[in-house]
Amino acid sequence: MSGNTTYLITGAHRGNQPLRGLPRADSEQGIGRGLTAAYLSRPDDTVIAAIRDPSHATAKSLPEVSKGHGSALITVKLDSSVPADAATVIQSLQSEHNISALDVIIANAGINDDSNLGPVAQLSIDVLDQHVRINAYAHLLLFQAALPLLEKAKTPKFVAITSGIGSIGIMEHIPFPMGGYGASKAILNFVEEHRPMTAESGSN
């Protein structure tokens, strides 16, 4: 898909450094920036970079990313820990940026905090709740808010970045528990498996 395509990517400024170990919520590691740069390099596309902290150095450097002929970058603030942010962003895209349809949404923002790496017996409910809110609830809230704009696209795509760590089937082969992260991704996987692309649909 290329040419006159509108993309919305969350966590879009992450990925300024090579991946090493487990990405932290406040690190620059991840794939968001790479996806943003890849789509911006194509001609005649619009990339909406949704970022948690516009003041961060990697966010401020996004306008420096090379753009294909006729392509444009729009940056918006979206904090996945704030439930109302998704609806606010979608509203502002329509009223302030004249976005009438979204072709592709890549829900990439997430958290994997060191505090969830120990045994499940020691997992804090607060840590679990934080991971579920950001890694699962926020993706669903974004999809629900953006659905009217997705429905106006010819071939809409909503892509949620997940992880094998959230797979019940392979968890016995994972050598570390990561209870908060794994549980949040398991919820996300279930929601994505049963998510319809239209408001009227009862199944995929």
Give residue limits of the domains in the chain: 6-193
pLDDT, tens digit, 9 for 90 and up, residues 65-76? 999 999 999 999
pTM of the model: 0.85
CATH H superfamily, domain 6-193: NAD(P)-binding Rossmann-like Domain (3.40.50.720)
Residue 203 has pLDDT above 60, yes or no: no
Over the stretch 140-175, which tens digit does the pLDDT of each residue have?
999 999 999 999 999 999 999 998 777 777 767 676
pLDDT, position 35: 92
The pLDDT value recorded for residue 179 is: 85
**Cα–Cα distance for residue pair 70/64, rounded to 1 Å:** 15
Arithmetic mean of pLDDT, 9-37: 65
Which residues, including other chains, have CB under 8 Å from residue 196's CB and lie 6 or more apart?
202, 203, 204
Q: Is the pLDDT confidence value at 127 over 90?
A: yes
Handedness of CA 108, 57, 4, 30 (dihedral sign): negative
| Tens-digit pLDDT profile for residues 40-91 | 999 999 999 999 999 988 899 999 999 999 999 999 999 999 999 999 999 9
Q: Among residues 156, 152, 176, which one has the least CA distance to residue 164?
A: 176
Q: What is the pLDDT of residue 198?
A: 60
Res. 94 pLDDT band, cuts 50 70 90: very high
Residues annotated as catalytic (active site), given as ranges? 181, 185
| Percentage with pLDDT > 70 across the chain | 84
Q: Which of 92-96, 110-114, 135-139 has the lowest mean pLDDT?
A: 110-114
Return the sign of the alpha-carbon dihedral for residues 127, 128, 131, 137: negative
pLDDT at 202 over 60: no
Q: Please state, for a pLDDT cut of 90, what percent of the chain lies above it.
A: 63
Instruction: For residues 32-47, give the mean pLDDT.
Output: 94
d(CA 40, CA 47): 6
Mean pLDDT value across the chain = 86
